[in-house]
Amino acid sequence: LSPIHRRESGTEIGVSGTIAVLQDVTEQERLDMLRREFVANVSHELRTPLTTIKSYTEALEDGALDDRAVAGRFVGVIQNETERMIRLVTDLLQLSRMDSKETALRRKKADLFELIEEVAERFAFPLRSKGIELRLNASPELGTVNVDRDQIDQVLDNVVSNAMKYTGEGGRVTLDAHRLEDGRRYAIVVSDTGIGIPKEEIGRIFERFYRVDKARSRGMGGTGLGLAIAREIVEAHGGEIAIESDLGQGTRVTFTIPAYAEGGGDK
C-alpha cells in the first residue's frame, strides 16, 4: 500500500475505519483500470477495420479498380469490415444502455417452446449450409416464461451463433429446454460438438472483448461482446448464465429464465 493511501485514510478513525477506506481506494482504482482497458479495447477494435478499409480503398485508387475481379474482391472486404464495425457499435450502444439502466425490460408472457422453435428455425438453414446437425430437445408443453422477448431472442442468437461459429462440418448443435425442480425457472441449454475452450480461459469468457483467439473471432465476424451482452440480459431477468467446455470436444452454455407466474408480477 502506498503512503498516499495511508494519508487519504486519515488517522483518527481507528483500524477498522482505515481498512474500509483503503478498500474504497482500491475499488476505485480497479474501476479506473477497467474503464481505461475498455476504452483501449474499443479504440483498437475500431481501428483495425478502419485500417483495413483505408488500405483497400488506397489499393483501389492505385489501380485495382481497373481489374474487375480484383476490385470486386476488395469491395467485398470493405463491405465486411464496415458491417463488422456497425455490429460493434450496435453492441456497444446496447451495453451502454444496459449499463445506464436506460432500457427497462418489457416482460410479457411467452410460450417457451415457441420461442425455442423459432430460434431453431432461424438457424436451420445456416447450420445445414455449414454441414452441422441441429437437434431440438424440448416438449411443446414446456409452459410459459416471463421475459422481454426481443432480449431473450438476442441471448439465444448470440449463444447459438457462437455454437455455429466454433463448430465444424459434421458437428452438432443441440437446443434443450426444461423446467427446473423449483418450478419457478427454466433452464435453456445450447451445446455444441465444436472446438471447445481451454479450461484456463473459461473464467474470463464473459468479459467484454475477451476472446480465446482474437484473429479467429474477427475472421468469423465476431465482436467479442456477444457473451457479455448475453450475461447482462440474463442477469437483468434475474437468471444466471454459465459455460462449460472441453477443449476439442465441445461447449455447453446454460442459462435460466423465470417461469411466468399468474399474478406474479415481475418475478
Instruction: Kindly state the smallest distance separating residue 41's Cβ from ligand ADP, in Å.
Output: 12
The residue among 162 and 256 lying less far from ligand ADP, judged by its C-beta, is: 162
Binding site for ligand ADP (CB under 6 A): 158, 162-163, 166, 192, 194-197, 205, 211-213, 217, 222-228, 251
Instruction: Kindly state the smallest distance separating residue 1's Cβ from ligand ADP, in Å.
Output: 35
Instruction: Kindly state the smallest distance separating residue 219's Cβ from ligand ADP, in Å.
Output: 10
The residue among 205 and 257 lying less far from ligand ADP, judged by its C-beta, is: 205
- HEC per residue, the chain: CCHHHHHHHCCCCHHHHHHHHHHHHHHHHHHHHHHHHHHHHHHHHHHHHHHHHHHHHHHHHCCHHHCHHHHHHHHHHHHHHHHHHHHHHHHHHHHHHHHCCCCCCCCEEEEHHHHHHHHHHHHHHHHHHCCCEEEEECCCCCCEEEECHHHHHHHHHHHHHHHHHCCCCCCEEEEEEEECCCCCEEEEEEEECCCCCCHHHHCCCCCCCCCCCHHHHHHCCCCCCHHHHHHHHHHHCCCCEEEEEECCCEEEEEEEEEECCCCCCCC
The residue among 146 and 217 lying less far from ligand ADP, judged by its C-beta, is: 217
The residue among 164 and 259 lying less far from ligand ADP, judged by its C-beta, is: 164
Instruction: Kindly state the smallest distance separating residue 60's Cβ from ligand ADP, in Å.
Output: 28
The residue among 84 and 107 lying less far from ligand ADP, judged by its C-beta, is: 84
Instruction: Kindly state the smallest distance separating residue 56's Cβ from ligand ADP, in Å.
Output: 22
